[in-house]
């Protein structure tokens, strides 16, 4: 199994706020020992971001050139999604821009020669009356144009399990992994599968290993991260810094014959740039240990 990480892990210096260039970021990841990278395109789609511009392809080409120059292939990408209160407002600002950017993300994933693009599922505005049936209907309609676009360019889509906020509100494909499995099986396309975010499962009250086993043949990709389940916060910590049982997680990946990469989605925390190389090497050491548990 190969070790990968989201470029989020090393995309800026927390001490100064300076954003790293694609070459700086991917070069450091390669030197640290990563085998591949997950390019997080989502933040580039925020209003004013590079994916909203007419010359958006130049940004993607820069990442592609950096990946090639550093010998760090792109295994997966993270596509655009809504954020904040947009979920609860069907007429939120920039709606059409979000749609355009998501279509661009599909093309970008192809440009980067990724194996798949990860997407968040859609859910209806939160209500005191939750309907899985109505949410699935809305999600199918939401995903349809992006799946169609992906089919045209030969790109696979991995739909990610989300967070269920319990008593505050239900979220479609949140804590119930079987909603996500049913969604993918309803789509019934061999190029549409699942991305398991271990942290999302953990704080939603589901054992991440059980989620992996349930996803089984539908598992295309991973977002590996840890957290403290009782806090209910999406902390995106390095494995072993929270309370997930990583021996079970890796055994589950072995049980389902997972053929993809072990991909981190870790918060860079507050590690300053000066300590970045040591931090990255440490994350690789943890990753290699995890992989050994599945061998």
Pick the range with the lowest mean pLDDT from 50-54, 232-236, 240-244. 232-236
For the stretch 197-228, pLDDT in tens is 999 999 989 999 999 999 999 999 999 999 99
Measured distance CA(187)–CA(68) in Å, rounded: 34
100 contact partners, CB below 8 Å, separation of at least 6: 52
In 3D space, the residue among 139, 150, 244 whose CA is nearest the CA of residue 197 turns out to be: 244
The mean pLDDT of the chain is: 94
33: left (phi over 0), alpha (psi -120 to 50) or beta: left
> Which among 173, 141, 144 is positioned nearest to 157, based on CA atoms?
144
> What is the CATH code for 3-293?
3.20.20.150
Q: What is the pTM of this model?
A: 0.95
Q: How confident is the model at residue 84 (pLDDT cuts 50, 70, 90)?
A: low
Instruction: Tell me: pLDDT of 105 over 90.
Output: yes
Say how far apart CA 156 and CA 193 lie, in whole Å. 8
At residue 87 the predicted structure's pLDDT band, cuts being 50, 70 and 90, is low
Q: Is 169 in contact with 193 (CB distance < 8 Å)? A: no
pLDDT tens digits, one per residue of 165-203: 665 567 778 778 999 999 999 999 999 999 999 999 999
Q: Compute the distance between CA of residue 146 and CA of residue 198 in angstroms, rounded to an integer.
A: 25
Which residue did the predictor score with more confidence, 273 or 126? 273
Q: What average pLDDT score do residues 145-153 get? A: 98
Residue boundaries of the structural domains of the chain: 3-293
Query: pLDDT for 250-275, tens place per residue?
Result: 999 999 999 999 999 999 989 999 99
Per cent of the chain over pLDDT 90 is 80
């Amino acid at each position: 199994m190969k070790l990968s990480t989201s470029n989020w892990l090393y995309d800026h210096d927390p001490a100064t706020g300076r954003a790293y260039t694609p070459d700086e970021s991917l070069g450091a990841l390669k030197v640290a020992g990563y085998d591949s990278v997950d390019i997080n395109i989502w933040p580039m789609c925020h209003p004013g971001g590079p994916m909203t511009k007419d010359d958006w392809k130049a940004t993607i080409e820069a990442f592609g050139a950096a990946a090639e120059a550093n010998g760090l292939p792109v295994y997966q990408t993270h596509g655009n999604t809504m954020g904040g209160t947009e979920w609860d407002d069907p007429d939120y600002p920039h709606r059409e821009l979000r749609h355009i950017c998501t279509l661009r993300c599909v093309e970008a994933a192809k440009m980067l020669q990724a194996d798949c693009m990860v997407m968040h599922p859609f859910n209806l505005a939160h209500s005191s009356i939750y309907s899985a049936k109505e949410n699935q209907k809305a999600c199918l309609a939401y995903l349809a144009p992006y799946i169609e676009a992906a089919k045209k360019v030969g790109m696979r889509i991995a739909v990610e399990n989300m967070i269920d906020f319990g008593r505050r509100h239900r979220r479609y494909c949140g804590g119930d992994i079987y909603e996500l499995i049913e969604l993918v099986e309803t789509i019934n396309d061999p190029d549409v599968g699942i991305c398991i975010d271990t942290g999302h499962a953990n704080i939603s009250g589901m054992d991440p290993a059980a989620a992996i086993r349930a996803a089984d043949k539908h598992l295309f990709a991973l977002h590996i991260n840890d957290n403290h389940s009782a806090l209910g916060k999406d902390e995106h910590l390095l494995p072993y810094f929270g309370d997930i049982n990583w021996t079970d997680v890796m055994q589950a990946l072995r049980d389902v014959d997972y053929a993809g990469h072990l991909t981190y989605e870790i918060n860079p925390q507050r590690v300053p740039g000066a300590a970045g190389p040591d931090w990255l090497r440490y994350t690789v050491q943890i990753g290699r240990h995890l992989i050994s548990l599945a061998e």
